[in-house]
Structure 1
Amino acid sequence: MAMPEDSCELDEKLEEKQRRKKLQGYIFSACIVLVFYFLLKNTRSVSMAIDHVVTVIQPILMGFVMAFLMNPIMGFFEKRLRKLFENVCKNKNMAAKVNRTVCSIIALVILAGVIIFIFATVIPNLVSTVMYLADHIEEQIAAVLDWCNVVTKGNYEDALMKAKDNNIGDLLEQGLKLVQKYINYDEQDLMSTITTSVLTVGKIIVNIVVGMFVSVYVLMSKETFKGQAKKLACGIFRPSYANIILEISRRSGDIFYGFIIGKIIDSIIIGIICYIGCWFMSMPYPVLVSVIVGVTNIVPVFGPYIGAVPTVAIIFLTEPRKGIYFLIFILILQQIDGNLIGPKILGDSTGISSFWVVFAVVVGAGFFGVWGMIIAVPIVAIIYYIVGQSARYMVGKRSLPLDTSEYITMDHIDIIENKLIPFSENHEEEKKARRRGIKHTK
C-alpha cells in the first residue's frame, strides 16, 4: 500500500527538481542579458577599465606570450638534453629542474635573438630606404614617368612630360605644407612630446625585461599551473561538467597552439622563399622586402596584401619594371602559400570555413587592431567548436542525427516518428496535405 505514495513523492521530487532547473536557467539567461546590456550601455567606461587593467598587467601578458612562443623551443632542447642532466645529477627530480631551467633560458635567448635580428635588419634598412626616397623622390617619380612614356610608346608624352615638369614639385610642396600644418609644435610642446616618448619607451623596455623573467617562471611551473587549474575545475563543477570544461580547454589549447605556431613557421618559410626569389631576380632591398612580406604574412587572409603594398611601392619607385615583376612574383607566392604550404603546415588546426576566417579577421581588426587580426581566428574557432558540441549534445538528447549533412536537405521533423523528413519534388502538395490534416484534427 506504501508503494503508490512513494512513487507519487518521487514524481513530485522530480518535478520540483525540473522546475528548479528551469528557474535556474531563466535566472542565468536573465543575468547574461543584464550583463550584456550593461556592457553596451557603458561601453566607454568598460573599455577604459579594460585598458587600465591591460596596462597594469602588461608585463605578465608579455611573459605569457613569450612563454607561449618559447614552449616548442624549450621542448625541443629538453628532450635532447634530458639524458645529459640525468647523468650529471644523480637525483632525477633535480636533473629535471635543472634541465627545464637551462632549456627555458636557451629558448629565451633564441627568441630574443630572432626578435633582435628582425628589428636590426628591418629598422636600419627601412630608415635608409625612407631617407633615400625622401631625398630623391622627385627624381624617382620623374624616372617612373619616363618609364611610363617608354612603355606607352610616347602616346601620352605631352601629359606625362607636363606632369613631370610642373606637378611633381607642386605636389611635394603641398605635401610638406600639409605636414607642417598638422605638426606645428612650439619648443615647449616638442620637449613635452620627447619626454613622454622617452618615458613610454623606457616603460616598454622595463615591461619586456620583467616579461622575460615571467616567461621563464611560467615555463618552469607550467605543469603545476595546469594541475591547479584542473583541481579548481573539479572542485567547483560536477564531474560531468568538469570533464566538458577539461575537454574544451584541451581543444582550445590545440587550436591556439596549432594555429599561432603553424602560422609563424609558415611566415618564416614564405620570408625565406621571398628572399631567395628577390636575390635570384636581383631585386633592390631583398632583406627588407622579405622581412616585411614574412611578418605581414602572419595576419590571415589580408596579411599578404598588406605586405605587398609597401614592398611593391618601394621596388616600383626604384625600378618600375622590377616592381611589376615583383608584384607578379608575390601573387604567385601567395597562391602557393594559400593552396600548398599553408594547408600542409596548419592542416585543419582551426576547423572553420573561409567565411568564418574572414569574419574573424574583420571583427578582430575592428576591436583590437593588428593583434586582433592575428588571435581572432583561433578564438572564433574555439567558439565555433563549443557551439558545435553544444548543438550535437542538444540534438542527441532528442534522439536526432548528429551529422550536419543530414540537416542540409531537411524539410521538417516527423513528430510521431521523431526523424528528419527531407525535401521532395511534391513538397508543396505535402505541405497542403499536412495543413488539411491539422485542420481536420482540429
Structure 2
Amino acid sequence: MELNKSNMKKIALLIAFSIALYLGLKNLYRFSELAGIVAGIFEPILLGLAITFILNVLMRQVESRLLAPINRRYTKNWPKVRRSISILITFLIVIGIIALILLILIPELVRTITSLTNNIPSFFTELQNNLVSMENKYPAVREYVSNIRIDWTNISQMLAQYGQKLANTLVGSTVTVAANLFHALITLVLGLVFSINILVQKEKLEAQTKRFLFAYFPVKPAETIVRVCSLTNRAFSNFIAGQCTEACILGSLCFIGMQIFRFPYALLVSVIVAFMALIPIFGAFLSTCIGALLILVVNPIQAVWFIVFFVVLQQLEGNLIFPRVVGSKVGLPALWVLAAVTIGGNAFGLVGMLVNIPLCAVMYTLLRENVNKRLEEKKLKRQLPKEE
C-alpha cells in the first residue's frame, strides 16, 4: 500500500479507533457510572422525551380521529389552534383515566384493609385451632413441638433494638427523603414543560433534525438513519398501544374469572393485575403473590385455587394473548416476541423486557427487507418458499 497522505490519514484513524476501543473495553465497568452521571444531568429532558413519546401516541389519535370532522370542515384558522386543543384533550384524557382508577381503587383498598383487619384475628385463631387439632391427631408432632424451646425474652429484646435503630434511621433520613421528593417534583414539572413544548412544535423539530442529518452526512446514510428512526418510532408507538390493550384484556379476564369463581377482592386484584401486566410476559406472575396473600387471610383454600386459576390465566395471556396482540402491533411473530422478552429480561432486567420487543421488531423488519433484496439480486426469491 502506498504511504500517501490519504492512506496515512486512514492508518492514523484506524490506530486511534483501536486505542479508543481497547480503552473502552478495559474500562467497560465505568460506562454504567458515566451513564448514571449523564442521565442525572439530563434527567428532566429525558423524562420530558419519555412523556412526549407516550402522550404523542394518544395525541395522534385525537388529532386524526377524534377531531377528524372539524379537520375536514374548517381549514382556515383551525390548523393554528388544533395542536393546542389536541394537547389539552390528551392531558384531560390521561388525568381522567388516572382519576377514574383512583376513584375505583381507593375505596376498594379501604374496604380491603378494613376486611383484612377484621379477618386477621379470626385467621390466627383458626390457625391456632388447626395446630392444636393437629397436635391431638398426631402425638409425635405434639411431642416434637413441646421439646422446642423459644427464648421469647431474647426475641422481644432483639425486636425492640431493631425497632429503635429503624426509628433512628427514619428520623435521620427525613431530610434526605424530603429533598429527594422536592427534586422529583421539580424534575416532573420540568419534564412536563419540555414535553408540552416538544408536542407543540414536533414537526418543526423533525424538520430541523432532517436538515442537520442531510447537511452533515452523505445522502444515502442520512436517508438510512431517517428510515430507521421512522421504523423505531412506529415500532415503539405500536408497542405502547399493544401493551395497554393487552393489560386491559388481562385485567378484564381476571375480573370476570374471579367473579365466576367467587374469589374475594376481585376488583382490587384485577386492577393490580392490569398494572403489573405492563411488564411483558413475567409481570403477571408478580400479581399472583399479591392476590394470593390477600385471599389467604380470608380463605386459605381459595388462595390455593386462586394460584391455580391465575397460573392458567397467565399461561393463556403469555402464550396466546400477548404475542398476538403486541406482536401484531409491532409486526413481530409470536415466537420472536417471547424470545425478545426472555433475552431482554435476562440481559437488562425490566427495562430490557420493555425495550427489547420494539428493537427486535425494527431489526426483524430491516433483516427481512435485506434478505428479500439479496434473494432478488440472486434471482432466488421465486424459487424459495414464501413467508406465511
TM-score (norm 2): 0.76
The aligned runs of 1:354-365 (5 Å cut-off) are 354-365=338-349
> Partners in 2 of 1:222 and 1:112 — Cα distance?
22
> Partners in 2 of 1:221 and 1:245 — Cα distance?
21
RMSD, matched Cα: 4.6
Deviation at 1:76, TM superposition (A): 2.3
Q: Aligned residue for 2:316?
A: 336
Q: In structure 2, the residue corresponding to 1:278 is in which secondary structure? A: helix
Listed as ranges, the gaps of 5+ residues in structure 1 are 1-11, 407-442
Q: Aligned residue for 1:312?
A: 292
> Partners in 1 of 2:293 and 2:45 — Cα distance?
39
Indicate the structure (1 or 2) with the bigger Cα radius of gyration.
Answer: 1
TM-score (norm 1): 0.68
Deviation at 1:394, TM superposition (A): 11
Count of residues in Structure 1 that have an aligned counterpart in Structure 2: 376
Please point out which of 234, 249, 262 is paired with 2:229: 249
Please point out which of 174, 191, 196 is paired with 2:176: 196
- Match of 1:105, as an amino acid? L
Deviation at 1:266, TM superposition (A): 0.6
Aligned 8 A contact 2:49 2:195 in 1? yes
Aligned 8 A contact 1:144 1:317 in 2? no
Please point out which of 68, 88, 93 is paired with 1:105: 88
- Match of 1:111, as an amino acid? V
Q: Aligned residue for 1:33?
A: 21
> Partners in 1 of 2:87 and 2:13 — Cα distance?
46
Deviation at 1:360, TM superposition (A): 0.7
> Partners in 2 of 1:127 and 1:375 — Cα distance?
35
Which of structures 1 and 2 has the larger relative contact order (alpha carbons within 8 angstroms, sep 6+)? 2
1:344-371 alpha-carbon deviations (Å, 9 max, x no partner): 3223424535334201112121xxxx44
State percent identity of aligned pairs: 24
Aligned 8 A contact 1:58 1:207 in 2? yes
1:352-400 alpha-carbon deviations (Å, 9 max, x no partner): 35334201112121xxxx44432243345545666x4798599789969
Distance 1:299 1:271, change over 3 A: same
Q: In structure 2, the residue corresponding to 1:284 is in which secondary structure? A: coil
Q: In structure 1, the residue corresponding to 2:280 is in which secondary structure? A: coil
1:114-133 alpha-carbon deviations (Å, 9 max, x no partner): 34544565577668757875
- Match of 2:344, as an amino acid? A
Listed as ranges, the gaps of 5+ residues in structure 2 are none
The aligned runs of 1:23-422 (5 Å cut-off) are 23=11, 26=14, 30=18, 33-34=21-22, 36-40=24-28, 43-44=29-30, 46-79=31-64, 80-84=66-70, 91=76, 94-118=77-101, 139-141=122-124, 143=126, 159=141, 177=158, 181=162, 184-185=165-166, 189-348=169-328, 349=330, 350=332, 352=336, 354-365=338-349, 370-382=350-362, 388=367, 392=371
Aligned 8 A contact 1:145 1:160 in 2? no
Deviation at 1:303, TM superposition (A): 1.2
> Which deviates more, 15-24 or 305-314?
15-24
